[in-house]
């Protein structure tokens, strides 16, 4: 009878409940002690890696308090399986093992989330639910690294837990009243949904906050919000746009209200606000910073979910799960020449591109100029020659406060300066240094334009990226035939992986800056690089759009079609609606705003300019016109040729209407009346 434990009928059921609660509370001391022990290991790891937050000691004390709160909230949940074991097992040693297993599962989840943080330097939250199985597998594979310190941190907590469990069972000071009191506190914390996370307002840097928080608390509180505080996925366009048009097209159509025939693109601004549902909006807070990152040659063919060439951007794939990710997104141009006017200003193409007009460029509204008008510091960072494609003229016409180009990279090795300029990692280092010096009391808008994913596809340490390419092909499960095909373009794939790593560096370092928590990042490609053969006529335009911010309250993968031409209208509508950014009532946007419906569809009409001289591509609803050839568009921009003269003629008519407006503005250069521009000039 020595090994028996609380056998009936000596102890009535109520007494067994009391004893189970007392014993569970004793074992919970071991759990709490292990959580503190892990925190000690976590901070040791951070110190060794050199990422020491400000006010480290006070930060540690503050975080321990919230660790206690989270453990208390977890106790009722953990008690339920313990109670089942308690009533079903007879031997005291078995109860000890059951408690150890329950708490070990808790600790395992904690350590896995901690490992994610060590890799990404941000905690994993509800963004987890934005991943598919393939995303998770690739993210884990990309971030998996094993060193002696990681192994120690992963093993020691389990040893510590099981050892302290033995000691905690011998505590004699606990009684039933104490157990009831502890459970009562736990239930109150759960009932009132008391946060287990400190307020971010108490931390100077977002990185400090990320270090301080309990990673498991962050994950589960964000998960709760994701499933229970989430708005429904409502089609907000349905009541505001024309239904099935007279043309018979099932795509919903925005109504353009043009106001002056002398200015063919001047119309009422009627963009719908669609981004606010995804953000933690605080209209009393400071205006958010905005950072655009235009990645040279970044195409969906080799980046993100369902990339038909396989994804060679592991970091962006990871970031995608924490972002608004637009899978079926279009560049407005097949080369870089029109990217800045399209992304920043939703501008028409004119004859050979807006920039080609040089000093004759008419006054225009862009994100840079309008935010500068609203008190933002504005900047543009590039590592190439500012004169190429007349980009310098365009950027300066927007009144930017600071323009950094190839001429400003003297601190980097001269050998890095290629035909085009300095590589992406140098650019990202330059950018981090620049942002670190910006004043904290003024919002900023900035645009980064990369170059490395461009011919000749040569970057520093090229052999290293050849090896990473090989490793990525193995992770993707390529057979020998697929590997051989990709090796034919090994310079391109190696450079893609280099640029992806440069972006990873940028976000890891930016996360340490005070501005990080209040910044919106907009990442897209200017076009899909053409040096790897394309699969369809629309493939060159198929790029990702990633909107990432610590301000996001939920992530989403969006399959409805949007384009570069929709970015400026939606971003400015969001800022004007929620942050009192002053914007004009009359605009010249060609785009009508992002569509955030998650299902595949297209409510837009777009001209797509393939090269400086070729304007032959047009998208309308779920149809694509290339020259005189009509295609139907499927998810992931699968194209199927069609023989439908009525539909083809409809798209030709729409396209000709745009060309007529474009020809008129090319000849007259009347884009925007001076009287309107002067009210919002930078």
Is the pLDDT score of 142 beyond 70? no
Bigger pLDDT: 148 or 486?
A: 486
Is the pLDDT score of 83 beyond 70? yes
Compute the Cα dihedral for 111, 113, 115, 118 and give only its sign.
negative
Residue 26 is predicted with a pLDDT of 92
Q: From CA 244, how far away is CA 250, in angstroms rounded?
A: 5
pLDDT in tens, 629-649: 999 999 999 999 999 999 999
Please state the three-class secondary structure of 32-52 as a single string.
HHHHHHHHHHHHHHHHHHCCC
The token pair that represents 136 in the structure block = 């998770």
Quote the strand ranges of 214-276, DSSP E: 267-268
pLDDT in tens, 197-212: 887 656 666 677 788 8
Is the pLDDT score of 291 beyond 50? yes
Is the pLDDT score of 141 beyond 60? no
Is there a contact between 560 and 588 (Cβ–Cβ < 8 Å)?
A: no
Bigger pLDDT: 629 or 9?
A: 629
Q: What's the mean pLDDT in 320-346?
A: 96
Range of weakest confidence among 51-55, 331-335, 587-591: 51-55
Is there a contact between 103 and 33 (Cβ–Cβ < 8 Å)?
A: no
pLDDT in tens, 556-594: 999 999 999 999 999 999 999 999 999 999 999 999 999
Residue 120 is predicted with a pLDDT of 66
Q: What's the mean pLDDT in 661-668?
A: 95
Give residue 132's pLDDT band: very low, low, confident or very high (50, 70, 90).
low
Is the pLDDT score of 8 beyond 50? no
Is there a contact between 546 and 293 (Cβ–Cβ < 8 Å)?
A: no
Q: What's the mean pLDDT in 259-273?
A: 95
**What's the whole-model pTM score?**
0.82
Q: What's the mean pLDDT in 244-268?
A: 70
DSSP class of residue 358 equals G
Angle (deg, nearest 10), helices 490-510 and 462-475: 90
Q: From CA 220, how far away is CA 222, in angstroms rounded?
A: 5
Q: What's the mean pLDDT in 301-306?
A: 95
Residue 173 is predicted with a pLDDT of 84
Residue 9 is predicted with a pLDDT of 46
Q: What's the mean pLDDT in 514-529?
A: 96
Residue 212 is predicted with a pLDDT of 86
Is the pLDDT score of 241 beyond 80? no
> What are the distances in angstroms from CA 607 to CA 223, 288, 317, 619, 625?
41, 31, 29, 6, 10
Is there a contact between 67 and 215 (Cβ–Cβ < 8 Å)?
A: no
- The answer for residues whose C-beta is within 8 angstroms of residue 630's C-beta and 6 or more apart is 623, 624, 641, 642, 643, 644, 647, 648, 651
Would you list the DSSP string of 128-186? GGG--HHHHHHHHHHH----HHHHHHHHHHHHHHHHHHHHHTT--S--HHHHHHHHHHH
The domain 267-604+651-677 is placed in CATH, from the list 3.40.50.620, 3.30.390.30, 3.40.720.10, 3.40.30.10, at 3.40.720.10
Residue 233 is predicted with a pLDDT of 43
Q: From CA 536, how far away is CA 544, in angstroms rounded?
A: 17
DSSP class of residue 323 equals S
Give residue 62's pLDDT band: very low, low, confident or very high (50, 70, 90).
confident
Bigger pLDDT: 123 or 68?
A: 68
Is the pLDDT score of 357 beyond 80? yes
> What are the distances in angstroms from CA 163 to CA 89, 487, 619?
21, 53, 66
Residue 50 is predicted with a pLDDT of 67
Indicate the helix (H) or strand (E) that contains 64: helix 56-88
Is the pLDDT score of 146 beyond 80? no
Mean pLDDT, rounded, of the chain: 88
Bigger pLDDT: 51 or 334?
A: 334
Q: What's the mean pLDDT in 403-409?
A: 96
Q: From CA 539, how far away is CA 330, in angstroms rounded?
A: 9
Q: List, by residue range, all CATH 3.40.720.10 domains of the chain.
A: 267-604+651-677
- The answer for residues whose C-beta is within 8 angstroms of residue 545's C-beta and 6 or more apart is 324, 325, 326, 329, 522, 523, 524, 562, 567
Is the pLDDT score of 314 beyond 90? yes
Helical ranges in 418-489 per DSSP H: 424-436, 462-475, 480-487
Q: From CA 385, how far away is CA 288, in angstroms rounded?
A: 30
Residue 254 is predicted with a pLDDT of 56
Give residue 534's pLDDT band: very low, low, confident or very high (50, 70, 90).
confident
> What are the distances in angstroms from CA 354 to CA 350, 363, 435, 570, 609?
6, 11, 29, 21, 12
Range of weakest confidence among 165-169, 445-449, 486-490, 580-584: 165-169
């Amino acid at each position: 009878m020595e090994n028996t434990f609380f056998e009936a009928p000596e102890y009535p059921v109520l007494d067994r409940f009391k004893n189970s609660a007392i014993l569970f509370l004793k074992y919970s001391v071991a759990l709490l002690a292990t959580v503190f022990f892990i925190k000690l290991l976590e901070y040791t790891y951070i110190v060794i890696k050199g990422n020491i937050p400000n006010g480290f000691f006070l930060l540690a004390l503050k975080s321990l308090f919230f660790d206690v709160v989270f453990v208390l909230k977890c106790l009722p949940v953990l008690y339920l399986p313990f109670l089942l074991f308690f009533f079903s097992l007879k031997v005291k040693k078995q109860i000890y093992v059951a408690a150890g297993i329950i708490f070990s599962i808790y600790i395992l989840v904690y350590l896995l989330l901690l490992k994610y943080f060590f890799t990404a330097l941000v905690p994993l939250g509800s963004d987890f639910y934005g991943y598919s199985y393939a995303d998770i597998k690739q993210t884990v594979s990309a971030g998996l690294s094993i060193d002696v310190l990681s192994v120690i941190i992963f093993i020691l907590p389990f040893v510590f837990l099981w050892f302290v469990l033995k000691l905690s069972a011998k505590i004699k000071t606990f009684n039933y009243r104490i157990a009831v009191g502890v459970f009562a506190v736990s239930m109150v914390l759960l009932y009132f949904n008391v946060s287990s996370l400190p307020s971010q307002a108490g931390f100077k840097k977002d990185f400090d906050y990320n270090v301080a928080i309990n990673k498991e608390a962050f994950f589960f509180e964000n998960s709760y919000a994701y499933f229970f505080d989430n708005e429904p996925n409502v089609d907000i366009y349905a009541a505001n746009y024309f239904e099935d048009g007279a043309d018979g097209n099932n795509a919903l159509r925005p109504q353009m209200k043009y106001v002056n025939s002398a200015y063919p693109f001047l119309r009422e601004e009627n963009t719908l606000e669609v981004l606010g549902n995804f953000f933690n909006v605080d209209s009393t807070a400071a205006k958010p910073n905005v950072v655009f990152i235009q990645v040279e040659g970044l195409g969906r063919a080799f980046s993100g979910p369902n990339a038909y060439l396989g994804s060679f951007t592991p970091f962006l794939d990871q970031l995608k799960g924490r972002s608004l990710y637009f899978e079926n997104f279009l560049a407005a141009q097949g080369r870089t020449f029109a990217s800045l006017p399209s992304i920043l200003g939703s501008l028409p193409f004119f004859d050979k591109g807006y920039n080609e007009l040089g000093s004759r460029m008419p006054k225009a509204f862009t994100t840079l100029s309008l935010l500068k008008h609203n008190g933002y510091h504005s900047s543009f960072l590039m590592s190439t020659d500012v004169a190429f494609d007349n980009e310098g003229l365009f950027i300066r016409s927007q009144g930017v406060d600071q323009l950094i180009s190839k001429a400003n990279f003297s601190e980097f090795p001269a050998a890095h300066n290629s035909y085009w300029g300095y590589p992406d990692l140098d650019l990202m280092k330059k950018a981090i240094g620049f942002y670190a010096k910006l004043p904290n009391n003024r919002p900023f808008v900035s645009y980064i334009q990369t170059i490395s994913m461009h011919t000749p596809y040569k970057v520093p340490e090229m052999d290293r990226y050849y090896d990473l390419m090989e490793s990525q092909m193995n992770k993707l499960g390529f057979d020998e035939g697929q590997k051989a095909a990709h090796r034919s373009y090994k310079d391109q794939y190696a450079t893609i992986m280099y640029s992806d790593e440069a972006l990873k560096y940028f976000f890891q370092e930016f996360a340490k800056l005070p501005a990080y928590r209040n910044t919106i990042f907009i990442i897209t490609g200017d076009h899909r690089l053409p040096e790897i053969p394309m699969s369809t006529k629309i493939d060159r335009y198929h790029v990702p759009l990633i909107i990432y911010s610590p301000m996001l309250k939920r992530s989403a993968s969006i399959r409805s079609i949007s384009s570069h031409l929709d970015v400026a209208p939606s971003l400015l509508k969001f800022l004007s609606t929620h942050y009192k950014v002053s914007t004009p009532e009359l605009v010249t946007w060609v785009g009508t705003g992002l569509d955030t419906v998650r299902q595949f569809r297209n409510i837009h009409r777009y001209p797509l300019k393939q090269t400086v001289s070729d304007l032959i591509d047009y998208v309308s609803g779920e149809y694509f016109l290339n020259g005189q050839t009509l295609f139907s568009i499927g998810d992931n921009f699968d194209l199927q040729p069609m023989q439908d003269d009525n539909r083809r003629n409809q798209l030709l008519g729409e396209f000709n209407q745009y060309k007529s407006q474009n020809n008129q503005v090319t000849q007259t250069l009347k884009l925007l009346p001076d009287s309107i521009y002067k009210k919002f000039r930078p």
